[in-house]
Amino acid sequence: MRAATISDGQVGVREHPDPEPGDGEVLVRVRAAGLNGADLMQRAGRYPAPPGEPQDIPGLELAGEVAAVGHAAPRFAVGDRVMGIVGGGGQGELCTVHERQLMPVPEGLPWPQAGGLPEVFTTAHDAIFTQGGLRTGERLLVHGAAGGVGTAAVQLGAAAGAHVTATVRNPEARDGVRELGAHEVVDPEGFAAGGPFDVILELVGAPDFPANLEAVATGGRIVVIGVAAGAKIELNLLALMGRRATLRASTLRARPLEEKALTARAVEREVLPGFARGALRVPVAETFALDDVAAAYERFAAGGKLGKVVLTMDG
């Protein structure tokens, strides 16, 4: 098979042996695979894949058709349209995935949107509800809301009956974020003036502190799931104590299978019906063929986009 391959800090396309599904696994013929911030970090050598996952083939999410099933993998049949998060290897023509990490693709959802759905909607759902405990009527602040996870979080928060404020640096992307359900879209500078917020979803990193502590409500929750702009902060513990606030942080990639399966089932129950109703969508900024993977990574790294950059394996 052909796959995106990282070598010496660059990404290109190389041939690899076809993977074979093991016990409980499904072989997916990948049709589309979204790019994520972790892929850029892996390309730079700062975020290796978990043990047992391909170390040189990036990709945390994919969508495609079941090509084969391994022993004791009864959930899906050959030809089924599936999607899911993976520890690595998603940006190749074939990928093995444990069946419990896979979800059915909502009927009528095109491959690019399906390929850009699993990681961002799973991450956003887990962060704002499981980690942040967002409830109807609360106020949610989403930093970096024009990106993949941000656009998912805005939609999920609005659908849950929260009041959603989004920070977006690129003025040209702000109207698009409003159309996704954000009640206010503001510049990242001075966002604290719009508080207090019950849940703050941090997708940018260090530059948003200490303003996050100024903006969080009493009893509020700050959930950190992105640090692309910086990972180290100086934290005023007295400010955190004074607000009786909670600071949490989370990743999905290194979680054990059981926990990943639980997140997949939660998305099936609570998110996919929204796609079936047409209430949720995956904004796709641009698609690239696998042969153009280097250009796809550069487009992702350039920023300023609304939604996902997606690789398509069929050109």
Give tens-digit pLDDT for 189-205.
999 999 999 999 999 99
Q: Which helix (H) or strand (E) holds 152?
A: helix 148-159
Is residue 272 pLDDT above 80, yes or no? yes
User: What was the pLDDT predicted at 78?
Assistant: 98
The whole-model pTM stands at 0.95
Residue 231 contacts by C-beta under 8 Å, 6 or more apart in sequence?
205, 206
Encoded tokens for 288:
């690239």
Residue 36's Cβ-side half-sphere holds a number of Cα atoms within 13 Å equal to 35
Please state, as a whole number, how many other Cβ atoms lie within 10 Å of the Cβ of residue 195.
Answer: 18
Torsion 206-209-213-216 (CA) sign: negative
Beta strands in 16-168 (DSSP E): 25-34, 61-69, 81-85, 94-98, 102-104, 139-142, 163-167
pLDDT band for position 315 (cuts 50, 70, 90): low
Phi, psi of 227 (to 5 degrees): -140, 30
Give tens-digit pLDDT for 9-59.
999 999 999 999 999 999 999 999 999 999 999 999 988 999 989 999 999
Report percent pLDDT > 70 for the chain.
100
Task: State in Å, rounded, how far the first CA of the chain is from the last one.
Answer: 15
Residue 202 contacts by C-beta under 8 Å, 6 or more apart in sequence?
143, 208, 212, 222, 223, 224, 225, 226
User: What was the pLDDT predicted at 254?
Assistant: 84
Give tens-digit pLDDT for 55-100.
999 999 999 999 999 999 999 999 999 999 999 999 999 999 999 9
Q: Tell me the domains of the chain and their CATH numbers.
A: 2-117+253-312 (3.90.180.10), 123-249 (3.90.180.10)
Give tens-digit pLDDT for 149-161.
999 999 999 999 9
Q: What is the largest CA-CA distance in the chain?
A: 57
Give tens-digit pLDDT for 227-253.
888 889 999 999 999 999 999 999 988
User: What was the pLDDT predicted at 195?
Assistant: 95
Closest CA to 26 of 67, 55, 63, 64: 67
